[in-house]
Amino acid sequence: MGMTRKQQRIYQKAFRLLRDATPLRTDCGVLCGSSCCSGDDETGMLLFPGEPTALRVIETEDRRLAVCGGVCDRNARPLACRIFPFFPFVQPDGGIDVRIDPRGRGVCPLVRMEHDVLFSHRFLHRVRRVGELLCRDGACRAYLLEIQQEIAQQQAIAARFSAK
Ligand code: SF4
Ligand code: SF4
């Protein structure tokens, strides 16, 4: 499905909010050689519902994946890249709780060191604002809930393995 007018406004605002906000106050890419940007032609970042992109897109039945080969115009990078390695979790009361996204564990040192790192409050605040914006759109809100359910399932499986 294409982007609705409402989604267009949401993505414009979200991209603006996260244009120059980064997880640390310094460039975290120097820690890891920008390992979250070392994808190939087969891997990529999931796009949010209707999210526009200039990157090549692989479509599955219900998901769209932006493929970058590790290179993109920073000002046009997907929303998933802008919020990485965090995710806005929708709470039962409708609020947003910004937490580390455990899906980034294999890629991002910040995920593995989350308790030892002082993250940028400005960045976390902006990811929360973006989560609130996304919740104004039914499809985007449903997508957030779907992803957070997948994360919870993955964590439950990982916990069962580590308990063995
Ligand atoms: S992998 Fe993590 S630490 Fe490295 S550039 Fe990406 S977000 Fe920053
Ligand atoms: S789209 Fe850009 S920011 Fe995102 S993983 Fe690829 S190179 Fe990195």
Ligand nearest to the CA of 76: 2
pLDDT recorded at residue 127: 98
pLDDT recorded at residue 158: 85
pLDDT recorded at residue 42: 76
| Binding site membership of 78 for ligand 2 (Cβ less than 6 Å) | yes
Report, as ranges of residue numbers, the positions in the chain whose pLDDT lies below 70.
1, 164
Cα 37 to Cα 54, 91, 146: the distances in Å are: 16, 30, 24
The pTM of the full predicted model, rounded to 2 decimals, is 0.94
Q: Which of 30, 84, 86 to mutate to test the pocket of ligand 1 (most atoms within 8 A of CB)?
A: 84
Nearest CA to ligand 1 atom 6: 36
pLDDT recorded at residue 164: 67
pLDDT recorded at residue 1: 62
Q: Compute the distance from residue 66 Cα to the ligand 2 centre, in Å.
A: 9
Ligand 2 nearest atom to the CA of residue 70, by list position: 7
DSSP secondary structure, 44-91, as one string: EEEPPTT---SSEEEE-SS-EEEE-TT---GGG--HHHHHTTEEEEEP
pLDDT recorded at residue 53: 96
| Binding site membership of 67 for ligand 1 (Cβ less than 6 Å) | no
